[in-house]
Structure 1
Amino acid sequence: MILNFFDQFISPSLMGMPLIAMAIIMPTLMFQTPSNRWLNNRLITLQMWFINRFTHQLMQPLNLGGHKWAVILTALMMFLITINLLGLLPYTFTPTTQLSLNMAFALPLWMMTVLIGMLNRPTIALGHLLPEGTPTPLIPILITIETISLFIRPLALGVRLTANLTAGHLLMQLIATAAFVLITIAPTVAVLTSIILFLLTILEVAVAMIQAYVFVLLLSLYLQENV
């Protein structure tokens, strides 16, 4: 039987119902809601500290107009981190390996940043398409290039997140398959392969968090240009 390593990226279903909806809802169940007490437990305190630190770091470069996006960007960051980390567990599914889901986040949020710039500061927003001091013969070429790069931004956001997570999952499955096959043929090599798999798993945990941070950080940079 020939194994297809891409089967892990197919949305699983139960009784004809896709389970991707359950996977998307899971991050909302992982976080506890703070109570009205003065003192909360350690988990809620750590959770609130992380959210406050991240929000402060993300909103610091933005002016007051961009601070309205704090709730959206922080919630998106927590959602992506949680869903990426949950996808590293055995027998689970990672929705962010689907380009359609990532584009569903990237395209509307990017479009909102562009519309905000066009409505609030149209001159500055359009001025980003033409760098200052450009020679006259190069003006049409640079405007075309900058326009294309502007419309490529949401695609780059979605593809970056999808490609990094997909490549990591494929590499982990390839090394795990090699270790499973070599355990009866060459036990020593299988142990070394398992060590590599363990180190790669740690790296993938870091990649899952970093890619979520990069996704939200780039959105904040796009917002910074338009507010």
Structure 2
Amino acid sequence: MMNNLFDQFASPTLFFTPLIIIALLTPWLIFFPATKTCTNNRPNAIQSWFLKTSTKQIFLPINHAGHKWALILASLLVFLMSINLLGLFPYTFTPTTQLSMNLGLAVPLWLTTVLIGLRNQPTISLGHLLPEGTPTPLIPILIVIETISLFIRPLALGVRLTANLTAGHLLIHLISSATLAVTAMSTGLTLLTFAVLLLLTILEIAVAMIQAYVFVLLLSLYLQENT
């Protein structure tokens, strides 16, 4: 039994082994690469259609040089979406509720896009720190503000993903606890709270998919600025 609501976000262990490792490996065990013997089955067809559609939407505004990132960002999208959705099952753990993990994904990828921009087009990349037509007295202030906003980007990526998933899991836990608490009091109230719980679960499924897409989409926008 949990001592408080936030115990569900602590990484569980079994025989002194963190189960977060199993949670991180599970998506790669679910999705198998297509082979000659199973290319035309329905799961692979749906998987291929989803990857092609999402990758096309993400990389549509990016120039040809940025298309080299298609495999990395598509894999990241599937990875995050799978972890988010698997975390909604009972007695499971969601690694993306850990800020440390999300920052571990966001910081290296964001830093890579910045370094690519500084290597390939240093003038344009540094020019983003100062908008064109800025009055001379405001130049130092705007450079400081734009520099701070640049370094806040990976933090915003990690916090956005963590906050949305944590809030959804907390709401589901609170409403499910309320449903059990009112079971003996009123049948109508129980059905009402259960309906709210069902709607919230559907909403959380959508949030799990959307937040994974937004995470990858923002990374692609950062890549677009530096390629």
Per the TM superposition, whether the score is higher than 0.5 is yes
Query: Is 2:184 aligned against 1:181?
Result: no
CA 1:2–1:49: 2 relative to 1, 3 Å: closer
1: distance between equivalents of 2:178 and 2:38?
Answer: 53
Shift of residue 2, structure 1, vs aligned partner: 8.2
What residue is the counterpart of 2:108 in the other structure? 108
Shift of residue 50, structure 1, vs aligned partner: 0.8
What residue is the counterpart of 1:70 in the other structure? 70
Residue segments in structure 2 that go unaligned for 5+ positions in a row: none
Shift of residue 59, structure 1, vs aligned partner: 1.3
CA 1:119–1:160: 2 relative to 1, 3 Å: same
In the superposition, the TM-score normalised over structure 2's length comes to 0.98
Return 59-68 or 75-84, whichever deviates more: 59-68
For these two proteins, the number of residue pairs brought into alignment is: 227
What residue is the counterpart of 2:9 in the other structure? 9
What residue is the counterpart of 2:204 in the other structure? 204
2: distance between equivalents of 1:134 and 1:71?
Answer: 39
Shift of residue 37, structure 1, vs aligned partner: 4.8
Instruction: String of CA shifts for 1:158-214, please: whole Å, max 9, x gaps.
Output: 000000000000000000000001001222111100000000000000000000000
What residue is the counterpart of 1:89 in the other structure? 89
> Identity rate of aligned residues, in percent?
64
Query: Structure 2 counterpart of 1:88, which letter?
Result: L
2: distance between equivalents of 1:216 and 1:106?
Answer: 10
Query: Is 2:151 aligned against 1:151?
Result: yes
Query: Structure 2 counterpart of 1:116, which letter?
Result: I
1: distance between equivalents of 2:9 and 2:108?
Answer: 24
2: distance between equivalents of 1:192 and 1:40?
Answer: 44
Query: Structure 2 counterpart of 1:220, which letter?
Result: S
State the SS of the aligned residue for 2:43.
helix
Shift of residue 32, structure 1, vs aligned partner: 2.3
What residue is the counterpart of 1:217 in the other structure? 217
1: distance between equivalents of 2:49 and 2:182?
Answer: 45
Preserved CA contact (<8 Å) 2:20 2:95: yes
Task: Extract structure 1 runs of 4+ deviating beyond 4 A.
Answer: none
| Cα root mean square deviation, aligned | 1.3
Residue segments in structure 1 that go unaligned for 5+ positions in a row: none
1: distance between equivalents of 2:50 and 2:162?
Answer: 25
In the superposition, the TM-score normalised over structure 1's length comes to 0.98
